[in-house]
């Protein structure tokens, strides 16, 4: 029973699953994201039928992941809805070192736990160590850098630029960066060696954006995305949301 687009959409709409402890211990890659809406939640990946889905671990989820022969099955309402295999993650994402610089944020997006976490702010040496660990698995194919905003957006971009320069000097893999934009972030990050840039668009609805992302500007993020395409090129810029990106492209 392989995953298809419909089942994938169902899993993503629920977003979490209750998983046997034993299975959890088998996937060494189960990690705790430290920035973004998934922060603080352990998560894991299921791969099936050419699809891959990340689910957070929630004992109260209507989905249950159990062992099924050598694979796993996802049970909903007492019936298996898909089989697949659990996939180890390097740091948050399979085959990707996904690292957070600042696990804290001065903003207060209503859906995001980061401002309440007061998480670690990683120095470049720590980031390097984690990427090196990922490389040692032999599976590293890309590096993703993300960050909350510890002091200011400018300071966060400065930190990201410094780290990208260090990583680019050592690793010949694509490096993607997701930060809140500044007037010069695209130019600076491109020059530092970043391959792709991501400026999050939490919602395209201006009223909802203003209500749920106080202090951030939808207009500024959209204009920054537009400018970033000129610097990074086609297919190297994203909003971290496919449906939003499609709408954004129609605006541009
Ligand atoms: S900018 Fe918003 S979504 Fe991003 S880390 Fe800060 S509070 Fe969370």
Whole-number average pLDDT of the chain = 84
Q: pLDDT per residue over 2-59, tens digit each?
A: 899 999 999 988 888 888 777 776 664 444 445 554 444 457 788 898 888 888 778 8
Instruction: Verify whether ligand 1 is closer than 6 Å to residue 114 (CB atom).
Output: yes
Select from 105, 106, 110, 113 the residue to mutate for testing ligand 1; criterion: most ligand atoms less than 8 Å from CB.
105
Q: Does residue 141 contact residue 96 with C-beta atoms inside 8 Å?
A: yes
The tens digit of pLDDT for each residue in 130-160 reads 898 888 878 888 999 989 999 999 999 999 9
Q: Could you tell me which residue, 124 or 45, shows the higher pLDDT?
A: 124
- 10: Cβ–Cβ under 8 A, 6 or more apart, which residues? 76, 81
Q: What pLDDT does residue 116 have?
A: 74
* Cβ proximity of 124 and 166 under 8 Å: yes
Delineate the domains of the chain, giving CATH numbers in brackets: 5-87 (no CATH), 92-251 (3.20.20.70)
Nearest CA to ligand 1 atom 2: 109
Q: Whose CA is nearest to atom 5 of ligand 1?
A: 148
Q: What is the pLDDT of residue 44?
A: 79
Average pLDDT over residues 170-188: 96
pLDDT of residue 198: 94
């Amino acid at each position: 029973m392989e995953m298809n687009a419909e089942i994938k959409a169902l899993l993503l709409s629920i977003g979490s699953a209750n998983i046997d402890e034993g299975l959890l211990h088998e996937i060494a890659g189960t990690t705790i994201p430290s920035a973004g809406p998934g922060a603080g939640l352990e998560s894991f990946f299921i791969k099936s039928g050419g699809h891959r889905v990340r689910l957070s671990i929630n004992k109260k989820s209507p989905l249950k992941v159990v062992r099924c022969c050598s694979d796993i099955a996802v049970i909903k309402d007492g019936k298996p809805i898909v089989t697949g295999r659990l996939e180890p993650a390097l740091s948050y994402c399979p085959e990707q070192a996904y690292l957070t610089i600042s696990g804290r944020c001065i903003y207060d997006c209503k859906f995001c736990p980061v401002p309440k976490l007061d998480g670690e702010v990683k120095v470049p040496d720590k980031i390097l160590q984690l990427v090196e660990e990922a490389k040692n698995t032999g599976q590293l194919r890309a590096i993703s850098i993300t960050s909350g905003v510890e002091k200011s957006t400018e300071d966060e971009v400065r930190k990201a630029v410094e780290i990208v320069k260090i990583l680019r000097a050592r690793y010949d893999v694509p490096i993607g960066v997701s930060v809140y934009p500044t007037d010069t972030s695209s130019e600076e990050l491109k020059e530092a060696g970043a391959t792709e840039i991501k400026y999050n668009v939490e919602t395209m609805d201006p009223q909802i954006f203003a209500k749920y992302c106080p202090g951030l500007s939808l207009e500024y993020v959209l204009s920054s995305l537009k400018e970033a395409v000129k610097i990074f090129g086609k297919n190297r810029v994203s909003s971290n949301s496919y449906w939003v990106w499609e709408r954004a492209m129609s605006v541009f």
